[in-house]
Amino acid sequence: SGTHAVAPAQCAGQDGPRKEILTPGGALFSTAIRSGGMIYLSGVIGRSQSGDAAEATRAALQGVQSRLEAIGHSMADAIKCTVYLIDMGDYQAMNQVYTEFFPQDPPARTAVAVRELPANAQVEVTCIAAAR
């Protein structure tokens, strides 16, 4: 009679939260995985033939948006993003485009400069989102 507590391990399964592949990416990585109440997206690269950082950022964020929408989520569900730039001189151009995708209540964010990115990309964005 009455309620009883359920141990966290019982709620999540014997081994804790499970990994659910939402969008397979290929042999090397999955593009979206849900574990517990979180969605983890693989990095999305952006590049511009002319070297325009804003254009490259827009391409990367459109890719993030498409991946989230494909699994029934939106940019509003993003809680943490990491932006990788090959040139920190592109920081302001990236910020201008970034605010278009997150006009209010933006997620936590880290931006770092790296030496290079795959496929001659200028920008790569990774995001963690809250699952619904």
Q: Tens-digit pLDDT profile for the chain (132 aa)?
A: 444 343 333 344 556 678 888 877 777 888 999 999 999 999 999 999 999 999 999 999 999 999 999 999 999 999 999 999 999 999 999 999 999 999 999 999 999 999 999 999 999 999 999 998
Q: What is the pLDDT of residues 32-47, one digit of tens each?
A: 999 999 999 999 999 9
Q: Give the model's pLDDT for residue 22.
A: 84
Give the residue among 127, 120, 121, 110 at the shortest CA–CA distance from 57. 121
> Cα separation of 72 and 4, whole Å?
34
> Cα separation of 51 and 49, whole Å?
6
Amino acid (1-letter code) at residue 57: T
Give the residue among 108, 126, 130 at the shortest CA–CA distance from 63. 126
Q: Give the model's pLDDT for residue 20.
A: 87
